[in-house]
Amino acid sequence: MEVLILKINRAYLVPLLLILSGCQSNLSGSTYSRDEARAVQQVQYGVVEDVRLVQIEGTKTPIGSVTGAAVGGIAGSTIGGGKGAAIATVLGAVVGGMAGSAAEEAITRTQGVELVIRLEQSGGLLAIVQEFDPAEVFHAGDRIRVMTVSGTTRVAQ
């Protein structure tokens, strides 16, 4: 019986991962939403004072828990018969929901970078966190642009 459950879980794992990976949005400095494209941006120049790698937590939507609950419920329903199957279905759905929620958060979690910037014009300090982009690595002393559009701020070299 355990072999059957393992096969069912693996059969549903790939679609679950595909669904969850579609929930992830890019938070790097080089990615713009459709609404931000062709919009006027406010630009300030500054110098990077400090750089620190951080984790940006993943998304926590109902998609992960609902999908996990469905997979867990289906897997649980294959165990036993009668009341045993009903109990296994409920337990499978609960455990699957928790696992699906955790999987969604883990899959969509990303590496970020915290930049502390001294603005050239005002001399003020600000900190911005954005997704780490290996094509654009920042170092203390780099002269950068701080761009803001529609309430979203990003840093670029």
Domain(s) of CATH 2.40.50: residues in the chain: 32-57+110-157
Q: Could you read off the pLDDT of 57-80 as tens digits, one per residue?
A: 888 888 888 888 889 889 888 887
Give the pLDDT of residue 25: 58
**Mapping DSSP to helix (H, G, I), strand (E, B) and coil, where does residue 88 land?**
helix
More confident residue, 67 or 128: 128
pLDDT at 96 exceeding the cut of 60: yes
* Residue whose tokens read 């939507």: 61
* CATH class of segment(s) 32-57+110-157: mainly beta
Indicate the residue type of 20.
L
Q: What is the pTM of this model?
A: 0.61
Structure tokens given for 142: 């780099």
Q: Which of 28-32, 78-82, 131-135 has the highest mean pLDDT?
A: 131-135
* Residue whose tokens read 């494209």: 37
